[in-house]
Each structure stands twice: as structure tokens, then as C-alpha cells.
Amino acid sequence: MKMKRFLVILLAIFTMFSIVACSGKDKEEETGKKDAGVEDTNKEDTDTPDTASEEKIELRIAWWGSQLRHDGTVKVIELYESLNPNVNIEYEFYDFDGYITKLNTLVASDDVWDMFQLGGNFPTYLTKIVPLNEYIESGIIDVSNTTDAFLKTTQHEGIQVGISSGVNTYGVAYDPALFAEAGVPEPTDNWTWDDYAQASLTISEKLGIYGSSKFDDFIGGCSAGIPQSDINLGFFAMSNDDLGFDDYTLMTDYIQMRADLTNAGAYPDPGAIAEIKDIEGDYLVTGEAAMTWIASNQFIALSEAAGRELKLAPIPRKKADGPSGSAIQSSQMFSISKDSEHPEEAAKFLNFFWTDEEANKILMGERGISIFSNVLEAQAPLQSDLQVVVNEFVELVGSFETGEVNVISPEQKAEIEDNYKLLIEKVIYGEMTADEAAKANYEFAKSKFSK
């Protein structure tokens, strides 16, 4: 697959912006600028700087993710430090739950890391985020090799709160050998939730394992599930000040399916789900399940952790000939903290992280497919077979017809999602029906937007 063609496909998903066809900058020139730390970004300086007189800069950064992500990010940090001897970057990494717990503690004490990773949860932390607009305008963060369309995926009311570390989509990773052993057909590009449920039940019955490891219930039943009912609907309105649908029963079938699979032993119960702390502990990796929900950028780490062939399928649909409910979106971003004593130096490092070709030959799109054309071109000759699988999968999902996509969730999403998960557990334990849970979730979510 040609990477330039693939980039055009990705850009078309967001908007009809065209790629800015800028050639990559000379590496020695770029290195000279980074070493010198100068404000004049047009100055050529390939000499090794005299760092003795430069201020010693201490930065802190943190993220969540897989071991593959940890290893690659640490190597990029070390590369940057070697090019900028006056900068020392202390790093921390966690599983997702541990990361959020630590981040919330640091927010409360006004001591957030200089640079911190965020996803769709960023509205919760807006008061701690330094706008990147001035660094983009000054050229400290170079956006000449991306487009406004991609930049808008990490904007809030015109403020650049971060820059996407890559674009991705969601899918289902599965073990074809386990499907074959159970005599279950492999997923197709338009398989349905009924197909998924039947596969889970049959695999569980015949192999004595979970048919499926944990899924993202909110995406499956709400943010993707609602537009699967009608391409013009969304769980949240595009304006982010209301819900985007008015029929609560659109959520009922998914909730009922989840409860049925759990009670049949084909899906892990809440206690077993709580035991999954990271990709390496996913039941698909350990061989205790035949499939799992995954973001496309996690597929390589998942496959390497499993140590066997896995495949990737789109998320199931409500109807085989109905809308997919899938879309391409930003995976995560890094933001700069208002608690940082060196926000400009943090911006320089993040520019390196996002746009430097050598750095991204290390990262190789683990957080998602880069939004920078020069990075994609540099990575193309180095693509592994697994990376090609991911790229082709994102291209496939990008070819599905979608309605207008809301790329930024409202601040209320986290509370609504937590409530939804608790309601599903109540259905699992027989405390309410799926219809009652769907109605209660709709009313709770609606109340969060009441004037």
C-alpha cells in the first residue's frame, strides 16, 4: 500500500483539506536548531553548541500504555537528550487506571507533569492545559506537514489543547486458530452483534474459555451503537450541549446482550474484568478468550504480547447492511501543563516527538498513524507486516460510510460512561431489566445537559 495514497484517504475522512506537500527539512539543520535551542527557526547551525553556558532544564513527562509504547517513548526521550545535553527528562508510565489516579492527585496538588498524555478525557483537565497556539504561530511547533483538519481533532473552542499522537479506529482482535478449533466462522467486514454473541457462546461452550475478553461498552452500545441505528444520529449532539437521539430503547439490545453473555460464562464478569490491568493481561493474550476489543494502534503490542497470529476485524454492526458506526479519530495527544516551569522547552520536545523523522522511526505509529506527511514517508520503508495490517484496517474502516463525526466529547461524558457501566452491572446481577437500564441511562445523561 502506498503511504501517500493512504494519507489522502485519512485526510478525506475528516475534511477535504489537501496535504501540504512540504519536503522534510535537512536533518543536520534540524539537529542544529534543537541543540542550540534558538528562537530563530530559520537559522542554520550544524555546529555542536557550547552547552556549558546553557540553562539546565528539567522536564517531567508521563503516559499510559503497553510495554511496547513504554520502550519506544523512552528511546525517543533518550535520543532527544543526546541532541540536547542541557535537557533532562524524567519519565513515568502506568496502566490507564494508575495513570488517571496519579494525574488526579497531581492536579489537586498543582504539580502536574510538564507534559502529560490525554485522550477523549481532556475536557476534565482543561484548567491545567497550556494552549499551544502561540508555539504553533512562532514555529516552535512545526505544523507545516499536517493540515487544519487533523489539528482540529485536538482543539477545544479554537484552542489547540494538544496535537494528535496519531489517528486510529476501533476493532476486534481475534485468534483465528481458536475460531477454527471451535468451528466458528471468522468475522467478516460487516458482521453483526448477533454474529458476535453467537461466536462467543459457541467458543465458550466448545473450548471452555471466554468467547470474548472485555469490550468498550460505552462505544459499543452508545457512541458507535446509536449511529449504527441511524447514520444521522449520535449519542451526543454535534454541539456537545445535548444528546443526539431521543429513543432510549436504541441502547437496550446491547445491554441485554452483555448481561446474557456474562451470565452464560462467555464474557468475563465485573470481577474478572477488573483483573485486566494492561494489554499484556488481556484474556486474549493469555489464551483465555478468543477475541477482544482494541484500538487499532494497540494491535501490534497485543500481537507481540500474545506471541501468535491474531487478526483484526471491524466492530460488529446492528445490521449487516446497516451503518458501521465506526470512524477514524485521534488516539491520544500530549498536552503541556500549566504547572510547568518550562512550557517552551516542553513544546520543543513535543515538536520533536511529533514531527522528527528519526524519532518516529522508533515510535512507528504505536499511538496511531501519524498526522504528519513527512513522518509517514520516513516510516513507509520500515513498515512491519503487523503495521501494514493496521494501516490497511484503518483504511478499510475509513472507507465505510459515516454521518458527521463528533471528534471531541463533552465534559459530561466521563460521568455518563461510569453510570452506564454501573447500570450494565445491575442488569447482570438481576437488579433491573435491560430496558430499565437503558431508560435510566438516557434520563441520567439527559439530566447532565439540563439548562
Q: How confident is the model over 252-288, as pLDDT tens digits?
A: 999 999 999 999 999 999 999 999 988 999 999 999 9
Domain-located, residue 158: yes
Please check the confidence at residue 14 and state whether its pLDDT lies above 80. no
The CATH number given to whatever domain includes residue 322 is 3.40.190.10
Residues in a beta bridge with 63: 93
| Euclidean distance between CA atoms 175 and 126, whole angstroms | 40
Whether the CB-CB separation of 255 and 440 falls below 8 Å is answered with no
3-class state of residue 88 by DSSP: strand
Q: What is the pLDDT of residues 136-161, one digit of tens each?
A: 999 999 999 998 878 888 888 889 99
- Distance spanning both ends of the chain, measured CA to CA: 50
Q: What is the pLDDT of residues 84-101, one digit of tens each?
A: 999 999 999 999 989 999
**How many residues are there in the chain?**
451
Q: What does pLDDT average to over the chain?
A: 88
Q: What is the pLDDT of residues 305-361, one digit of tens each?
A: 999 999 999 999 999 999 999 888 888 999 999 999 999 999 999 999 999 999 999
Same structural domain for residues 153 and 181? no
Greatest mean pLDDT among 36-40, 111-115, 146-150 lies in 111-115
Same structural domain for residues 115 and 10? yes
Domain-located, residue 106: yes
Domain with 55 in it: 3-168+331-398
Whether the CB-CB separation of 369 and 10 falls below 8 Å is answered with yes
Domain-located, residue 406: no
Same structural domain for residues 175 and 247? yes
Same structural domain for residues 236 and 301? yes
The reported pLDDT for the residue numbered 401 is: 82
Q: What is the pLDDT of residues 101-111, one digit of tens each?
A: 999 999 999 99
Give 302's pLDDT tier (boundaries 50, 70, 90). very high
The reported pLDDT for the residue numbered 407 is: 66
Domain-located, residue 404: no
Give 441's pLDDT tier (boundaries 50, 70, 90). very high
Domain-located, residue 94: yes
Same structural domain for residues 144 and 205? no
Give 19's pLDDT tier (boundaries 50, 70, 90). very low
The reported pLDDT for the residue numbered 55 is: 86
Please check the confidence at residue 432 and state whether its pLDDT lies above 50. yes
383: which residues sit within 8 A by CB, 6+ positions away? 364, 391
Same structural domain for residues 53 and 146? yes
Q: What is the percent of the chain where pLDDT is above 70?
A: 87
DSSP 346-411: HHHHHHHHHH-HHHHHHHTTTTSB-S-HHHHHHHGGG--HHHHHHHHHHHHHHTS-------S--T
- Cβ count within 10 A of residue 235: 25
The reported pLDDT for the residue numbered 451 is: 58
Give 238's pLDDT tier (boundaries 50, 70, 90). confident
Of residues 247 and 53, which shows the higher confidence score? 247
Domain-located, residue 407: no
Same structural domain for residues 39 and 9? yes
Same structural domain for residues 260 and 390? no
| Euclidean distance between CA atoms 86 and 376, whole angstroms | 30
Same structural domain for residues 368 and 419? no
Domain-located, residue 191: yes
The reported pLDDT for the residue numbered 149 is: 78
Q: Beta 87-94 vs 57-64: how paired, if at all?
A: parallel
Give 29's pLDDT tier (boundaries 50, 70, 90). very low
Closest by CA position to 132, among listed 167, 108, 159: 159
Same structural domain for residues 137 and 177? no
Please check the confidence at residue 57 and state whether its pLDDT lies above 90. yes
3-class state of residue 348 by DSSP: helix
| Euclidean distance between CA atoms 53 and 379, whole angstroms | 36
For the chain, how many structural domains are there in total?
A: 2
| Euclidean distance between CA atoms 235 and 186, whole angstroms | 30
Same structural domain for residues 295 and 388? no
Assigned C-alpha cell, 439:
431508560
Whether the CB-CB separation of 346 and 137 falls below 8 Å is answered with no
The reported pLDDT for the residue numbered 162 is: 96
The residue whose grid cell reads 446481577 is 429
| Euclidean distance between CA atoms 330 and 322, whole angstroms | 24
| Euclidean distance between CA atoms 136 and 155, whole angstroms | 13
| Euclidean distance between CA atoms 318 and 190, whole angstroms | 9
Same structural domain for residues 143 and 182? no
Domain-located, residue 405: no
Give the CA count within 13 Å in the CB-facing half-sphere of 285: 20
The reported pLDDT for the residue numbered 239 is: 84
